[in-house]
Amino acid sequence: MDDQNQQILDILAKYEAGTITEDELQQLEDWYASFEANPDLIESLSPEERLVRKKQLQEKIFDQLGPETSSVAELSKKRFFLNPGNRLWQAAASLVLICAVSFYIFQKQADKPSSAEELSSNINPATDQATLTLGNGEKILLDNSKNGELSAEGNIHINKLKPGNLVYTASKKVSKVHINTLSTPRGGRYQLTLADGTQVWLNAQSSITYPSAFQGTSREVTITGEVYFEVAHNAAMPFRVKSENQLIEVLGTHFNVNTYNAKSSAKTTLLSGSIALTNSHQRIILKPGEQGIVAAHSMSVKNVDPVEAIAWKEGYFDFTDADIGSVIDELGRWYNVDIRYNGTATKETFTGRIPRSWPFEKVLNLLKTFKSIQVEMQGRRLIVEKK
């Protein structure tokens, strides 16, 4: 912003604070008389746009000046036949010129295309955001709710202990349970403690559907996206996790389930204990350090480093020979950035560990170092093209 525009803003601030001097008020009058000829203020507007926006601005101002001056025609007429000694009309005239000058200053700034760096600097990492859907269909936005008890369903109490942490407690005698769903958006994350004490972490764009308390001979939940579990041990009530194409059965264990690409396959990584994976054709038992890859008609097991699978829970992106597409997709979910791919996929892979607390601007600079792709920001959309 140049010195003259800054001076205008300074005087406008004084006007709003009631400290403007007669000389400064006259400056505003002079600027108002000449602002249409000032290329520094309106060079980005066509003559037609100037007329339309000036009319819109006038109508908005006139509506705010009170019922006695609500007619645009009447006010316009009075504006040109002011009594110089009438301070009410001088104030009205000043209001018009102030809004007009402000409008064109800020309109010019808004019309300037932002650079990719400016846009990316406004994109932040995921925060504690989630929506809780109760059994009666009521939805609670947890990021806006206060800490404390959110709801009570019979002897079941739902409490938000702190940002990002939802806890269920239930007495031993529960007459009726309700099915609840906790879901995170792109750019969100959340932690949940179920009524049996099982702890659950949800990554961005994920969900878990569960009973408000567990009854019967098993504990069953359904998930989408990526979820990490630390299951409370209860040999009499096996814990089951359902997702597309697979069922996970556990007694008490720590494991991670990634179903982001459930249409092709889901990945379940075991950290401790023992779990059984089942699809429509097969059943396998995983041991700690193994990852089960389950599709609709196939199943396989491989040895992995579990630390990589749960890096997201510990605050990192951890990639080992990951294809560029999966890297960018994961970044897009975390930073709530839309991804558009142009052209064919690249075969380049990426290995590295990145803090999830990094601002997106820093991540964007990293993406620009990839040899096989070029990236460009358009608003909150990342355009990815093969070089």
CB 72 within 8 A of CB 62: yes
Protein fold of 127-309: Jelly Rolls (2.60.120)
Tens of each residue's pLDDT in the chain, 387 residues: 456 556 666 776 666 556 777 777 767 666 655 544 444 444 444 555 555 555 554 454 444 444 443 333 343 333 333 343 444 444 444 454 555 555 544 444 444 445 545 566 689 999 999 999 999 999 999 988 899 999 987 789 999 999 999 999 988 788 789 999 999 999 999 999 999 999 999 999 999 999 999 998 999 999 999 999 999 999 899 999 999 889 999 978 999 999 998 778 999 999 999 999 998 889 999 999 999 999 888 999 999 999 999 999 999 999 999 999 899 999 999 999 999 998 888 888 999 999 999 999 999 999 999 989 999 998 889 999 988
Give Cα 102 to chain centroid, integer Å: 31
**∠ Cα 169 174 177 (to 5°):** 80
pLDDT, residue 28, reads 63
Which bin fits 148, alpha (ψ -120 to 50), beta or left (φ > 0)? Answer: left
Any idea where the domains of the chain sit in the sequence?
Answer: 3-111, 127-309, 315-386
The answer for residues whose C-beta is within 8 angstroms of residue 237's C-beta and 6 or more apart is: 196, 214, 216, 217, 218, 219
pLDDT, residue 299, reads 93
Protein fold of 315-386: Phage tail protein beta-alpha-beta fold (3.55.50)
Reference 361, options 188, 118, 113; nearest CA is 118
pLDDT, residue 33, reads 55
DSSP state of 318: E
pLDDT, residue 48, reads 55
pLDDT, residue 46, reads 53
